[in-house]
Structure 1
Amino acid sequence: MARQRGNGESSIYRDDDGRWHGWVSMGLKENGARDRRHVSSMKRAEVVAKVRELERKRDAGTAGAAGRAPTVGQWLEHWLDTIAARKVRPSTLVRYRQLVANQLVPGIGHHRLDRLQPEHVEKLYSDLQDGGLSPASVLQAHRVLSRALKVAMQRDRVARNVCALVDPPSVERDEVRPLSGQDARRVLEAARGRRNAARWSVALALGLRQGEALGLTWDTVNLDAGTLTVRQALQRQPGRGLVLVQPKSRAGRRTIALPGPLRDALRAHRAAQAAERIAAGSRWEDGNLVFCQENGRPLDPRSDHRAWRALLAEAKVPPARLHDARHTAATLLLQQGVPARVAMEILGHSQISLTLGTYSHVVPELAEDAARRMGEALWG
């Protein structure tokens, strides 16, 4: 016989076979129909506990949508489309989708989200590495899955984030290979007289990322005050081409003091660009970019890479990645005794541990210099 607690409220009853049933009114479904959840057990106390748990979730607003629990694959697609898409850059979202489609869904996408176990994830990582995927890519997949499950846990879709119970693959950080001070000077000497020569002075002196340098506009450069402000970056996005985007973090938006020679180089560069603007006439596309093509359009990052490699060859400097110019600037800053906190701000790092961890090869030199200075201070 049913025990009604009132219209729209929970009810508990026992059927003719002696089994106990509970119904809980959760509100309305997305289509406007009433959402009534059912639980059952041979023991009344268990049904009472389940009913109270559903009521608690309903009242707290943490009850999942009605219907069968989604699979891991369904949740990942939902997370990508409605959550990650609003929070990450388009290029980052593209990478997330690749990892979900190629690694996560084929391996664990069929499991029910609320029944995913640490062992499922561990087997996935082993299978991926056995299949030839690099540890770095497996680690990326782990981070994407963990972020998606963190949201699922926050929304009470799962009781725990199983990724927190799994050891992710360990990845050795690539060794930083900066140019020596002598090689850096040879590069700048080889760049003298080239078009956009100041582009390489900015890279080696300030450590700007490629996108930051190519996204610089003249309104962010104050040559009288001797400062340069980073507030955007040039990035290639699928389907959109080259676009200007905001820095990933607040630390990326920064104002940097310019060395005197770099200020002079930028003045000369601005004068040369003004002459190019006049020569281009109506073909000039004014984006106010500091470094651009001869018609004012943005520099393509790929051609920028080619120019760097050609410059190194001309300077007779061993091949190096363009990002190594940033490592060179950081290493030289620390070697010159610039405090790590200041170097962190110049580079746009969000944490000092990133600065010291990335450039740990300089730390022994800093420690030796500190010991020498302390000796001079105390013992002359």
Structure 2
Amino acid sequence: MKGYFRKRGEKWSFTVDLGRDNQGKRKQKTVSGFKTKKEAQIACNELINQLNKGEYLEPNEMTLEEFIMEYMQSQGKQILRPKTFETHMFIIDKHIIPELGKVKIDNLSPAMVQKFYNKKINEEHYSADYVRTMHSILRTAFNKAVKWQYIKKNVFQLVDPPRLESKEIKTWSLEEATKFLHSVEKQRFYIVYLLAVYTGMRQGEILGLRWDHCDLKNGTVSVRQTLSRTSKGLLFEEPKTKSSKRLISIPNHVIDALKKHRVEQNKQKLIAGIGYEDHDLVACIETGKPINSRNLIRHFKRMIKESGVPDIRFHDLRHSHATIMLQLGEHPKVVSERLGHSKITVTLDLYSHVIPNMQKDAAFKFEQAMKDVMRK
């Protein structure tokens, strides 16, 4: 295989024979626009090398918008959870397509992508975490574009997303958590708050918890599903990861509260009669239907004000549970298992602010042990 060179005006071009197509017609590839013959020769040799190795791909005329929509419909919808799919589509429609949608996927450059990220951060003031989500969507999609042989390389692998800044986790102390629970003991969502503080379960895991998942005799609850809010309504789903499916031990106080809650719930069933929609949920509204997370958060914020404790997010109840357990001397591995983290390093990274105090206590205990031995 060799190239044929030709000068047209001030520019050089080359042509390479590609053999014949299925109909027996001769196939050629011509590339032009080179300033010198040497430049054309270098490009020609590179093309021939790619052809010999089977690495050559014809330039793709597909735009980013065309590709990302094809990918999301054929792949994203199959592998993503409904809520995640909706979130990704929102980001694609609001941010990615308006900025990069008309660019051909073959013409995307690292500089172009970096400019897009910088604009989102510096001009539109979106968080680094949010822009990293955009990057993750695009990088994953374009990995598939490479596998589908639409493009040679994934340009999003060549660009670094913005660096995350460490966030300070807000938590309640043991006293604040106790004060809050005492304040809301007579409230309708008390059992939700109690489980959040005592187990570290996520909001969706608590709202998706069924009585069938509770073993009150042996003092455990099993995380097997979550409740998610989507545009199509509330939806029960399996936990995201294998580690999220877990068995959590609960103390007698929580067991007694669950038993009491179930008695009250059975009374509600009798009052509602045939109008009760039984999903076997531990936490539900008076008619048995799942709790809408928006209503729960509104109630949570109101209860915070009334109880006089520091303002935190609902998810921070999970952080509070972990922090308190670590401060009480529980092994990080146990805390990690209760939270459903995939690795203990995730737990240690999240709650590194607790570690210095633990080390201080450990040093003190070691010193005391040494002194005790010396006294003997």
- Normalised by the length of structure 1, the TM-score is 0.84
**Structure 1 counterpart SS, 2:290:** coil
- Does residue 158 of the first structure (1) align with residue 151 of the second (2)? yes
- Does residue 324 of the first structure (1) align with residue 316 of the second (2)? yes
Q: Which residue of 1 aligns with 2:200?
A: 207
Q: Which residue of 1 aligns with 2:10?
A: none
- The Cα offsets for residues 10-36 of structure 1, whole Å up to 9 and x where unpaired, read as x999899995421365x8xxxxx9999
Please say if residues 189 and 296 of structure 2, whose CA atoms lie closer than 8 Å, have aligned partners that are also in contact: no
Of the candidates 359, 362, 377, which is equivalent to residue 351 of structure 2? Answer: 359
Of the candidates 265, 268, 284, which is equivalent to residue 273 of structure 1? Answer: 265
Cα displacement (A) at 1:335: 0.8
Output the CA distance in 2 between the equivalents of 1:205 and 1:69. Answer: 56
Of the candidates 188, 191, 213, which is equivalent to residue 198 of structure 1? Answer: 191
Output the CA distance in 1 between the equivalents of 2:6 and 2:312. Answer: 80
Root-mean-square deviation over aligned CA pairs? 2.9
Cα displacement (A) at 1:342: 1.1
Please say if residues 83 and 230 of structure 2, whose CA atoms lie closer than 8 Å, have aligned partners that are also in contact: yes
Q: Which residue of 1 aligns with 2:52?
A: 52
Of the candidates 236, 245, 248, which is equivalent to residue 244 of structure 1? Answer: 236
Q: Which moved more, 1:296-305 or 1:15-24?
A: 15-24
Cα displacement (A) at 1:72: 2.1
Please say if residues 60 and 150 of structure 2, whose CA atoms lie closer than 8 Å, have aligned partners that are also in contact: no
Please say if residues 204 and 227 of structure 2, whose CA atoms lie closer than 8 Å, have aligned partners that are also in contact: yes
Please say if residues 60 and 104 of structure 2, whose CA atoms lie closer than 8 Å, have aligned partners that are also in contact: no
- Does residue 289 of the first structure (1) align with residue 289 of the second (2)? no
Instruction: Tell me the amino acid that sits aligned with residue 200 of structure 2.
Output: G
Please say if residues 207 and 226 of structure 2, whose CA atoms lie closer than 8 Å, have aligned partners that are also in contact: yes
Instruction: Tell me the amino acid that sits aligned with residue 308 of structure 2.
Output: K
Q: Which residue of 2 aligns with 1:226?
A: 219
Cα displacement (A) at 1:67: 8.0
Output the CA distance in 2 between the equivalents of 1:295 and 1:98. Answer: 33
Cα displacement (A) at 1:38: 4.6
Instruction: Tell me the amino acid that sits aligned with residue 173 of structure 2.
Output: S
Cα displacement (A) at 1:333: 1.1
Please say if residues 15 and 28 of structure 2, whose CA atoms lie closer than 8 Å, have aligned partners that are also in contact: no
Instruction: Tell me the amino acid that sits aligned with residue 169 of structure 2.
Output: V
Output the CA distance in 2 between the equivalents of 1:79 and 1:341. Answer: 39
Output the CA distance in 2 between the equivalents of 1:127 and 1:235. Answer: 32
Please say if residues 211 and 235 of structure 1, whose CA atoms lie closer than 8 Å, have aligned partners that are also in contact: yes
- The Cα offsets for residues 328-354 of structure 1, whole Å up to 9 and x where unpaired, read as 111111111111111111111223222
Q: Which residue of 2 aligns with 1:135?
A: 127
Please say if residues 22 and 47 of structure 1, whose CA atoms lie closer than 8 Å, have aligned partners that are also in contact: no
User: What percentage of aligned pairs have identical amino acids?
Assistant: 30
Q: Which residue of 1 aligns with 2:11?
A: none
| Aligned residue pairs, count | 355
Q: Which residue of 2 aligns with 1:3?
A: none
Output the CA distance in 2 between the equivalents of 1:252 and 1:228. Answer: 13
Q: Which runs of 5+ in 1 are unaligned?
A: 1-10, 28-32, 58-62
- Normalised by the length of structure 2, the TM-score is 0.85
Q: Which moved more, 1:154-163 or 1:175-184?
A: 154-163
**Structure 1 counterpart SS, 2:274:** helix
Task: Return closer, same or farther for 1:68/1:178 CA change in 2, 3 Å cut-off.
Answer: closer
Task: Return closer, same or farther for 1:274/1:110 CA change in 2, 3 Å cut-off.
Answer: same
Q: Which residue of 2 aligns with 1:5?
A: none
**Structure 2 counterpart SS, 1:219:** helix
Instruction: Tell me the amino acid that sits aligned with residue 18 of structure 2.
Output: G
Please say if residues 283 and 291 of structure 2, whose CA atoms lie closer than 8 Å, have aligned partners that are also in contact: yes
Cα displacement (A) at 1:304: 0.9
Please say if residues 12 and 23 of structure 1, whose CA atoms lie closer than 8 Å, have aligned partners that are also in contact: no
- The Cα offsets for residues 300-320 of structure 1, whole Å up to 9 and x where unpaired, read as 111111221232233221322
**Structure 2 counterpart SS, 1:364:** helix
Output the CA distance in 2 between the equivalents of 1:201 and 1:361. Answer: 25
